[in-house]
Structure 1
Amino acid sequence: MITLFCIHPKGFNVGNEVIHLALRHLLHQAFGRVVNVISLPAISRFESHVKAGLSSKTIHEINQYGHGVIVGGGNLYENGQLTVDGDALPMLEPPMLLFSLSRGRIHDRNWKLVTRTDVMPDRTIEALNRKASFSLARDQATYDHLQGLGIEKCQLGACPTIFIDQVADRLPRLTEGDRSGVLLSVRNPELMNIPLRRQASVRDDITRLIAFLRDLGLGPIRLLCHDHRDIPFATTFSDIEYLYTGDVYYYLSLLRTCTLSVSYRLHATLPCMSFGTPSINISYDERCQSLMETVGLGDWNIEMTGDDDVVAQVADRYRRLEELPEIRAGVRAHWDSLQKLNLDVLKQFRAQVEELAQVND
C-alpha cells in the first residue's frame, strides 16, 4: 500500500483546507485508487504538534515507511511558515513534489510592492527545489521568481481549487435559510498586509458595501469569516450576521448555494468561480492578483489601491454580472489544460513513488 506524507498549512484559515481537499481529489485521479496520506502541519506554530514540516524528525520518519512527500499547497514561500532542516533535507529518500506554492509581495506604506520580512529565504527555496523531483508554482509571480533563481524544473500549475466543482456531490445539503443571499467574505484588517491608513478605511468600505448590497434586495447579507481571527472584526457590525465554520464541506456548500459572493478572500472566489456562483473578488496583494491573472480572471478582479473606491468597482462588476458566464466559458479550456498539467505531474510523481514502493516493500 502506498503511503504519502503531505506537509501543508493548517493554521486557522479554512481556505487551506479547501486547497488540501482539491489536492486529495487530484491525487485520487492520478493514482486511481485510495492511498494512505499522512497529513502534517507545515510548521508547529499554530498546532500542538511537535512533528511538523521537513524537520530532521519528520524526514527520519518519512524515510522509514513513506513512499513520497508532497509539500503544499499554500503560500509557504511567501510567509516562510515551513519548517526546513537544511542539514537533514539532503537525506530525504522518497521523491518530493512541491505543489502549488506561492511567493508574493505586499504593499508598503507608499503602496509599493515589497518583499515580506518573514519570506522564505531564496537559499531555502533553492534547496527545496534542488531536492524536489517536481515543482509546481501557484501563480505567475512565483514562477517568475523561481525562474529568476535558475530553477528550471518549476512549472506553472495554478491552484487546484479551480477544479473543486468536481467534488460537489460530496457536499452536504443546507437548509433553505442557508442556501441563498449574499456572502461577504471578510478579513480582519489587522491581518491584511496593507498600509495602516488603508487598514483603517476597510471597515468603512465594508459598511458601504453592506448598504449597497442591501439595496439590491438579493436576500440576507452575511459576513463570512474564513478564520476565527476575523470574528472580532465581524462582531463590530452589530446589524448583520456573521458565519464561521472550520468544516470545509459546509464552507463549500455555503459558497455553492449563495446568490452572490463578494470577497476579500481568494479561496472564496475561486471555488465560487468553479461552481458557477456569481462572484466579485477584491485583491490587496500580489499573491491574489497574480493568481487571478494566472487563471484568466485578472480583468474581472478588483485590485485595491491606496485611493480607490472599492464600492464603486463592486457596483461596476455587479452591473456586468451577465458577462461572467461568458468569462468562465472563455477560461474553461485554460483550466482544462491546467488540470491536465497537474495530473501529468502527479502521474509522473506516482511512477517514482510506485518504483520506490516496489523496491522497499
Structure 2
Amino acid sequence: MTTLQLKNIVKRYKSQTVLDDLSLDVADGERLVLFGPSGAGKTVLLRLVAGVIDPDEGRVLIGGEDMTEVDAEHRGVGMAFQNFALFPHMSAFDNIASALTARRFSKEAIAAGVEKVAKLLKIDHVLTHHPKALSNGQKQRTALARALVGSPPLLLLDDPLRNVDAKLRFEMRLELPRLLAAQGATVIYVTQDYKEAMALGDRIAVMFEGQLRQIGTPADIYDTPAELEIARLFGDPTINLLDVVPQRGPDGAFAELSGVRLRLPGFGPEIVGKACVLGIRPESIVFSEASATGAIPVRVEAETPLNEKTVTLTLTARGREVLVSRPAGTPGPATGPAHLAVNSRAALLFDKESGRLMRPSEPASKRNGEAA
C-alpha cells in the first residue's frame, strides 16, 4: 500500500515562503492533480516529496513510513521533471532504461520494458537518438517513459505533456489514465492546463502562493469553486462574473439583470444588501423567447464559432458582458436584441470582499430552483 501524507510542510528560500504549512493526504492508487498558476509552489512540492530538496518544517510519509530524512534514491519514487533532466551522453533507450539498470534487471527485461513504454508514448522510432537530436516533445516523452518504466509505487509527474503537440496531448489525456490505472501507482500530476486536470485527476488540489486552496473531484472544483480565483481558472469560455447586490422578494432573495429578477434559490436574508459577485457558467445560459418567464433582455454583440461550440458575447441593459456557450449547430441570434434564460440552480454567489463562495442556507433538496 503506497499512500502519501504531507504534514505541515514549510519550505522557504531566504525570506520567501514557497510552501506555507501545507498538509495533504493521497490515497493508495489515487491520481491527484496539483493545479495552479506558475509560481504556486507545485514543482517545489514534487521535488520535496521526491527527496531532491528537504522541508524546513513538517514531515513526508510514504506508505505510512516517515521519509523526511531518507535520501531520494531510497524512497521508491519515480519522477518526470519539467526540465527533462536527461543524460546527454546516453541514447533515449539508455535514458529510459536507467531506472531498470539501477535495479539490476536482466537485459531482456530491460529491452521489453523500454520498448513497451516507448511504443505507448510514440517514441520507439527515436530510441537510438541522443537528447540533442530529439525535439522538446520527444525529450518530454523520454523523461515520462523513464518515470513509468520501472512501475514505481509512487509516481510524480511534473507537467509531462507541456511540450507535446496538441494532437499527441489529446491522445495522451486518453491513454495516460489507462496506463496509470494498469500500473496501480499512486500518482501526483502537476499541470497548469485545467482540461488536463479535469481529464486525469481522481481529485484536484488547487494551489495558490504555496497553499492548498481547494481539494475535490473535478466536478466539485468546476461546479462549486471555493473562491473567485479558482472559478476563473476553470472553464473555456471563462465564467461570467457580475457584481450584484441581492435583494429580498416574495419568493426569496434575487439578483437583478437588465431589470429582471434572477432568483437565488436557497439563500436567505443574510445576503440581502451585501456586495456579491454572481458567477454563471456560459453553458448554464440559453437563448429564450421574449415571452418566457424570467427572460433577460440583452443585445448580441458578437458570435464566435469554436468547432464543437459557439460562444456569443451579449450585453445587458447596463452594458455588462455576458458570454453564452451553446453546442455547434444549435440555433441562436448572431446580432441584435435577444433574451436569455439562466439556470439559477447552477448560479454561484461569491462574497465580493473575500472572494469566498457563499453557500445557500437551505439544503438543495428544499430549493425550488426554476430557471430564471
- The interval holding the TM-score normalised by the smaller chain is under 0.3
- Structure whose CA Rg is larger: 2
Relative contact order higher in (CA < 8 Å, ≥ 6 apart): 1
The structure carrying a bigger strand percent of its residues is 2
TM-score (norm 2): 0.24
The structure carrying a bigger helix percent of its residues is 1
